[in-house]
Amino acid sequence: MKTLPFFAAALLFSATMVHIPPPGAGEAAGVGPNRPEKIEAQGNSSKKGGIDRKWKLKYRETFDKPLPMEKAPWVRDPHGEESPWHVDHLDDDGAYFRVQGGEAFGDQLNSFDVLRKRVPFGKDGWLTAELAARDYDKDGRPDRPPSLTAVTVQPGGRAAKIDEPSYDGGIIIRSTHPLPPRYRIEYTLRSIDFGGMRNGEWEYNGRRNGYDLEGCKSNWPWKRSGDFAGPSSPCNPHFNDVRNANGYYFLAIVDYPDPAPHNNIFIHNHRKVGMDAYNTYASGAKDYAVCNPKTGELYSYTGPESSYNAINAIFFAGDRWREPSIGYNEFMFETACGSFYPPDSEHVIVSATEIQPELMPKETYTFAIERDETGYTLEMSGNFRHAGPMTLRYHRGFIEDGRPIWHFNNRPEEYDGRFNTTLTFSGPYGRYSVEQWPEGSAYPDFFILGDPHLNYYEGSAVIDDIKLYVPKE
């Protein structure tokens, strides 16, 4: 059985705007002030550009060869601690949902099977595709499963298409093994269709916000609280329609081995840093803002300047929870408009910029994450809305201004236990407690890209040129 110490203890040359830490900041696990400063730089991390001389290329996947996905069989996830996909109490059959829904939740979960594929690929099998789909009639065949296939894109040549035709599955590409202590992971996004507006409209190509218009699409059977009884179906009236929110994980680092798609609540407890799209017209979006990196000024996410295709570049706080009831970490944003911490800001989300899907695949975007001896750097390159072509880099120390990045330590000796706390999860059918970050714990870095949710998000993306860099000797 796989365990974690945590749970055992209860990514064209042009003038660019680059955000980097001051020299020497963040020594000793990133302790101390580390505010970004703006400088002018040249180049980016794309195929045509260059990277910092401290890195050397270890692996590169260009998708020039056929992918082995279709040859791999679909396997039923048995759930429980013996499942190869077991992680913790937020699993798809986890204790969290048991105390919220009791026997009713068990009945809902048991009414269908989750089928999965875990397929290593690339040189030395350094990459793994994780696919998941539902089998409603339990005949051993998935209903509308996601897929990963090699395609030809003009311009650009060979690439890989992530296709998720139904929200009730999930698909990610991840590192097969833990990333090294220092690394740079990057890839190119050639096209994306996971919601947001197109040419000022939510409805296009027979869809709304990227979702098929037919049938029921809800967060069934996983939700935070409430009544879990009723029909065993996505049409259960006690669950919420999901079409007002679509999205995609451009690139993220998570804190547990062998990442795979799970329910949406699960992922909220397991990200260290990441860049994602959350394309929504829900009422709460009125409190979101987007940074124009060219002017350094904010504009409203729901205003006329927005296309609802924002990039959220997030460092997840390790000392405070946005929603303690589900262990959902608070956000820390570094942008060209400044640093934002929602408890001290009028904005719940401050996005770094917006992509322009209408320009793709002629225009592409590159995403990268670096981990060095001081902390993490989030990087994005491309032709951004209102700003034009540029590279944006945002660095934050492992511990900065006294606030840590969640589970930054790869080894026990990198962390002294100071941010540990115990959260109690309770519901109508019981309660239990889990230590969040005990002394002696350690958390490997794995990267993911795609859709890690089993009950949200629907669409497709074309990706290319995944690279892993390690420090030069």
Q: Which residues pair with residue 199 across a beta bridge?
A: none
Q: Which residues pair with residue 265 across a beta bridge?
A: none
- DSSP E strands: which ranges in 281-352? 288-292, 297-300, 310-323, 328-335, 338-340, 349-351
Residue 4 has pLDDT above 90, yes or no: no
Helix (H) or strand (E) holding 427, with range, is strand 422-427
Model confidence at 50, pLDDT cuts 50, 70, 90, reads: low
Does residue 411 contact residue 441 with C-beta atoms inside 8 Å?
no
State both tokens at 358. 């209408």
Taking residues 137-150, report their average pLDDT: 97
Does residue 332 contact residue 396 with C-beta atoms inside 8 Å?
yes
Does residue 301 contact residue 289 with C-beta atoms inside 8 Å?
yes
Please give the pLDDT value at position 201: 95
Which of 321, 358, 91 has its CA nearest to residue 200? 358
- For the four alpha carbons of 411, 414, 416 and 421, in that order, the dihedral sign comes to negative
Please state, rounded to an integer, the average pLDDT across all residues of the chain.
90
Does residue 127 contact residue 448 with C-beta atoms inside 8 Å?
no
What residue spans of 32-137 are helical by DSSP H? 95-109
State both tokens at 120. 């290593």
Taking residues 260-270, report their average pLDDT: 97
Taking residues 212-239, report their average pLDDT: 97
Angle at 354 between CA 460 and CA 59, to 5 degrees: 60
Does residue 459 contact residue 248 with C-beta atoms inside 8 Å?
yes
Please give the pLDDT value at position 23: 29
Please give the pLDDT value at position 33: 32
Give every CB contact of residue 377 below 8 A, 6+ residues apart in sequence. Answer: 20, 368, 369, 370, 371, 393, 394, 395
Please give the pLDDT value at position 80: 96
Which of 338, 405, 330, 352 has its CA nearest to residue 374? 405
Exposed, middle or buried: residue 426 (CB in 10 Å: 0-12, 13-18, 19+)? middle
Residue 61 has pLDDT above 70, yes or no: yes
CA distance 322 to 421: 15
Please give the pLDDT value at position 361: 95
* Distances 194 to 28, 240, 384, 464 between C-alpha atoms, Å: 40, 19, 17, 17
CA distance 159 to 194: 18
Per-residue model confidence as pLDDT tens digits over 184-224:
999 999 999 999 999 999 999 999 999 999 999 999 999 99
Exposed, middle or buried: residue 457 (CB in 10 Å: 0-12, 13-18, 19+)? buried
Model confidence at 51, pLDDT cuts 50, 70, 90, reads: confident
What is the amino acid identity at position 177?
H
Model confidence at 52, pLDDT cuts 50, 70, 90, reads: confident
Exposed, middle or buried: residue 114 (CB in 10 Å: 0-12, 13-18, 19+)? buried
Residue 298 has pLDDT above 60, yes or no: yes
Look at strands 403-404 and 399-400 and give their pairing. antiparallel
Please give the pLDDT value at position 181: 97
Please give the pLDDT value at position 26: 38
Per-residue model confidence as pLDDT tens digits over 340-372:
999 999 999 999 999 999 999 999 999 999 999
Between 12-21, 149-158, 239-248, 314-323, the lowest mean confidence (pLDDT) is in 12-21
Please give the pLDDT value at position 379: 98
Q: Got the DSSP string for 64-94? A: -S---GGGSPPEE---STTSTT--STTSTT-
Please give the pLDDT value at position 155: 83
Output 38 or 80, whichever has higher pLDDT: 80
Taking residues 311-325, report their average pLDDT: 97
Which of 71, 72, 63 has its CA nearest to residue 151? 63
Taking residues 75-99, report their average pLDDT: 98
- Every domain of the chain and the residues it spans: 5-471
Model confidence at 154, pLDDT cuts 50, 70, 90, reads: confident
Please give the pLDDT value at position 5: 38
Per-residue model confidence as pLDDT tens digits over 448-462:
999 999 999 999 999
Please give the pLDDT value at position 405: 98
Portion of the chain with pLDDT greater than 70, in percent: 89
Taking residues 332-337, report their average pLDDT: 97
What is the amino acid identity at position 221?
P
Residue 3 has pLDDT above 60, yes or no: no
Please give the pLDDT value at position 39: 29
Please give the pLDDT value at position 465: 97
Helix (H) or strand (E) holding 355, with range, is none
CA distance 225 to 409: 32
CA distance 360 to 254: 28
Taking residues 112-136, report their average pLDDT: 98
Residue 45 has pLDDT above 50, yes or no: no
Please give the pLDDT value at position 205: 93
Does residue 173 contact residue 450 with C-beta atoms inside 8 Å?
yes
